[in-house]
Chain A
Amino acid sequence: MISIEDVSFHYPGTTQDVLDNVTLSINDGEFVAIMGENGAGKTTLVKMLNGLLMPAKGRVLIDSSATGNKSVAQLSRDVGLIFQNPDHQLFAETVSEELSFSLRNFGFPEDVIQRRVTSILESLDLRKYSNTSPFILSGGERKRVALAATLVWNPKHIIMDEPTIGQDYLQKDRLRNFIVQLISQGKTIIIVTHDVEFVAECNPRVVLLSKGRILADGPATRILTRSDLVTKASLVRPQITELMQRLNEKGAPADIVEPYAARDFLTPKLHAAADAQTSTR
């Protein structure tokens, strides 16, 4: 369980609080999207989960142990933080070497390393690149290598910082399916994002941050449909929500965020309208 208790933070040398009395708990196996405008404090918050940053006030507990008591390396064993830009971490001569890096750092024996690397190459469809230099791969492939490089040590909690930027629809679809798979394996998934449509399709728990404070915390269908909240966090409501809002008088529920739910709501109404028409003929 991840527990953020009354955390405040400001960067050394500044007085402006980037995080202001944030309290948040995330249970094991939950899927959470942390959203908010640029500068809201989202990245600062997740950097506290693996000890890269320490709260100025309050504390962060990972599985009941305060982050202050452990090093970043120790915390990272359980909390895998995947940064936005894969080019900020790729350095090895081959993809396999890249994937082995973290396992060597954590002291895994060589045979386990071999096994795990082979396994992750398989599950992320990277086997053909095992001896390729990571630098010549395309942007989307490099992002997959970065994802593999964290999953390879099988952390319990996985945090992805802006995983959808620069991805096309197919890549996002693949990512979404992969997240579903990880959740079914019992992993905690936290994504930091401003991609409203992606979150609408995944329907996780949404924590809205604005100016360092938690603005709202609840299911995506409840948060992303509130235009006042969404505006404050510099986001927009999902397109389907906007559409349903316009059909208010038809009794559209206020928690529809994606096409399938909209279709389910509209189908009986459309049938009724068609029946009404045939019966008037």
Chain B
Amino acid sequence: MDSPIHRLDPRAKFILTLGFFTTTLMFTNIFALLTIFLMQTPLVILAKTWSRWIRSMRGGLLMGIFIFAMNYIFGTSLALAIAFTLRFFTIMSAFSLFFMTTSADDLGLALEQAHIPYVISFTFTTAVRLVPTMAVDAQTVVDAQRSRGLELDKGNFMKRVRNYIPILIPLIISAIRRSVELAEALEARAFGASKHRTTIVTLRMKPADHLVTIFTFLGLFVATYVYFYVTLPSLVIPIQIPRLF
């Protein structure tokens, strides 16, 4: 997947995401939050990840409803409940956008260059690299056991839980075997040999990345100003919904 957003340095994108995060937490005013939320929209479009973004929003729907319900029942006003829900979606959207447009490899590189110990960033990229592999393994195990008559959708709750033992054990054992093989191969490639590890690919901040960073700080500045000095219109909802308590 490629787009101007994808091509941005992950560090710049992360600063941007943190910017969205921070400004969102500053406000409980619906108009402010809506503005921040809508500011992400052109980025989503530019990143060409519209459908994936919608799907992740849909995924958060249950949580969003829960947050709304809780805040309405135990909270002070309808407007505030809406505000908190909007906050949730805005933050979720910002982080979704980040992860959708940043490859695990780039993330690993960013961690490395942030002087996080190599073992940690390597563990991270390897875990990501192994996800599709383990997904295939999981499917194979399910297929193999179903082919021996295992029926995962039958029986009472306890039976169904027990039925997952023949799935989990081979998966775990396969994962362990795979880890051992990977460890052997790592040793054979001199993993950990030198304290001064080099990298052939380095992340460099380009003009676009600097622009994004500047824009983020500008946004933070504007948000802070608005927070202290600008009175925002508040939302008056004429609907009277009977309170439960």
Contact = CB atoms under 8 A, between A and B. Distances in A.
Q: Label chain B's interface by main secondary structure.
A: helix
B146 A88 contact: no
A76 B169 contact: no
B173 A73 contact: no
B169 A91 contact: yes
Contact of A105 (B140, B151, B177): B151
B149 A91 contact: no
Given A83-B140, A83-B143, A90 B170 contact: yes
Interface in A60-113: 71-73, 76-77, 80-81, 83, 85, 87-91, 101-102, 105-106
Contacts of A81: 147
Contacts, number: 62
Interface residues of A, number: 25
A101 B163 CA distance: 11
Contacts of B140: 83, 85, 88
A279 B173 CA distance: 70
Contact of B170 (A47, A50, A72, A87): A87
Contact of B151 (A50, A73, A89): A73
A60 to B, nearest CB: 15
A76 B147 contact: yes
Interface in B163-179: 165-166, 169-170, 173-174, 177
A149 interface: yes
A198 interface: no
Contacts of B165: 91
Contact of B148 (A87, A89, A135): A89
Interface of A: 47, 50, 52, 71-73, 76-77, 80-81, 83, 85, 87-91, 101-102, 105-106, 135, 149-150, 153
